[in-house]
Amino acid sequence: MPSASVEVVNEVGLHATPLAQFVACARSFSETTIRVQRDERSADGKSLIGLLSLEALKGTTIEITTEGPQAEDALQTLVALVASGFRRG
């Protein structure tokens, strides 16, 4: 299972708006399981409510783990999204 750590860099942290973007992106990898962990807390990467429960503020490091046929692509895409501060481009 590929995994990577990434720091939350956007000013507001992982709140509803950026997480909705994250979840939409994660769900585009329909056959891939995505988990996000912060300290001892873990959430389904395709669940907005679950991700909100991580309470990841700016400067927090999260770990994203993927498993499935598109695991590497999903991981790279989601890490880039978080690292960019959820900037589209």
Catalytic annotation, residues: 15
- Check if the beta carbon of residue 27 is closer than 8 Å to that of residue 39: no
Distance of CA 79 to the CA centre of its chain: 7
Tokens 């991700």 sit on residue: 51
Residue 50 structure tokens: 């679950």
| Neighbouring residues of 36: CB distance < 8 A, sequence distance ≥ 6 | 42, 43, 44, 45, 51, 54, 62, 63, 64, 65
